[in-house]
Amino acid sequence: MAAMLPLTSSTVAGPANASPSETEGVRVIEVTAKKYEFNPSPIRVKQGTRVQLKITATDHAHGFRIKPFPDGVDTKGNVGLVFSSPQDFQKIEKGQMATVEFVAQTPGTYPFKCCTRCGWHHRAMKGQLIVEP
């Protein structure tokens, strides 16, 4: 039982428009995707957390792709993010929400990016997930 108890003093102090909440051990983080940014970014979670990213494309169709290996780590090593959904890629239509769920198994920095061509600066549309030990 003890492992599931939430800490009394939450250190969640993200941007005001992000509303992280916890449901049955899942950390739900709402993310917006718009030209040409993800918000919030970077997203910080603790190692071992089951994370659900709810990504809403507000102004245009966007995409979301995250690397399952942390930056600077040999990709032949252990996977750092363990996905519950079969893929780490989502296309998100305008006004729609996509959910990506995974366990943040290994500390490190995981870059993510838009993977649906959405305009001139599409390639610059990136963010980071930081898994803290």
Residues that bind Cu ion (CB under 5 A): 114, 118, 122, 125
**Closer to Cu ion by Cβ: residue 64 or 102:** 64
Phi, psi of 86 (to 5 degrees): -65, -20
**Closer to Cu ion by Cβ: residue 81 or 125:** 125
CB of 52 vs Cu ion, minimal distance in Å: 22
Phi, psi of 53 (to 5 degrees): -95, 125
Phi, psi of 32 (to 5 degrees): -110, 145
Neighbouring C-beta atoms of residue 75, cutoff 10 Å: 10
CB of 51 vs Cu ion, minimal distance in Å: 22
CB of 91 vs Cu ion, minimal distance in Å: 10
**Closer to Cu ion by Cβ: residue 34 or 122:** 122
What is the end-to-end Cα distance of the chain in Å, rounded? 22
Neighbouring C-beta atoms of residue 79, cutoff 10 Å: 14
**Closer to Cu ion by Cβ: residue 44 or 122:** 122
CB of 40 vs Cu ion, minimal distance in Å: 18
DSSP β-ladder status, 126-132 and 43-46:
parallel
